[in-house]
């Protein structure tokens, strides 16, 4: 059961950070609209949380080595981690200008990803810099690509 919860929480948090930040940065660079970014976050928090939870559910079933209780623990923890953490990105968007909210969200999301990666590295007796660096690099590549795509779409719309 403990492994199922760890799977769901680590997957949900990682997915929430990368998906939500990518979406926020892309929508911001393409539209510069606070309401569009807010709608995107809410969409991610709901639709993508359910999608990820179902993906974990099916993946755990396909392994054919987990109990029903373990499968549902991974499913529910994935949904809750993804939904709740994605919703934290709403706070800066509501409270600050959009540009400031994006910076705050980047710092917040990448900090959480770093912390999660650090604990994963420690649990595997791996050098923390290696795991943290790898995960941050992937997140930054995704964020960079979505920023570029948003700029490109914004120019098409102009």
| pLDDT 10s digits, 2-55 | 888 888 899 999 999 999 999 999 999 999 999 999 999 999 999 999 999 999
- Please give the distance of CA 137 from its chain centroid, rounded to a whole number: 14
Token couple for 17: 């950070």
pLDDT (0 to 100) of residue 5: 87
Instruction: Report, as an integer, the average pLDDT of 76-103.
Output: 97
- Please give the distance of CA 22 from its chain centroid, rounded to a whole number: 8
Are 2 and 105 within 8 A, CB to CB? no
Number of domains present in the structure of the chain? 1
Q: Where in the sequence is the domain holding 64, given as residue range(s)?
A: 2-157
pLDDT band at 1 (very low <50, low <70, confident <90, very high): low
Q: Residue 97: which region, alpha, beta or left (left: phi > 0; alpha: psi -120 to 50)?
A: beta
pTM of the model: 0.91
**Inter-CA distances, 61 with 14, 30, 57, 98, Å:** 21, 39, 6, 41
Q: What's the CA gap between 35 and 38, in Å, rounded?
A: 5
């Amino acid at each position: 059961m403990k492994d199922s919860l760890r799977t769901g929480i680590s997957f949900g948090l990682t997915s929430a950070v990368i998906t939500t930040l990518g979406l926020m940065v892309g929508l911001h660079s393409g539209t510069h609209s606070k309401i569009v970014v807010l709608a995107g976050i809410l969409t991610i928090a709901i639709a993508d949380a359910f999608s990820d939870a179902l993906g974990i559910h099916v993946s755990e079933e396909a392994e054919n080595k987990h109990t029903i209780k373990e499968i549902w623990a991974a499913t529910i923890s994935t949904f809750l981690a993804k939904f709740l953490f994605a919703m934290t990105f709403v706070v800066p968007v509501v409270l600050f200008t959009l540009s400031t909210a994006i910076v705050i969200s980047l710092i917040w999301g990448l900090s959480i990803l770093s912390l999660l990666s650090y604990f994963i590295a420690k649990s595997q007796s791996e050098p923390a810099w290696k795991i943290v660096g790898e995960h941050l690099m992937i997140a930054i590549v995704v964020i960079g690509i979505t920023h570029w795509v948003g700029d490109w779409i914004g120019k098409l719309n102009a």
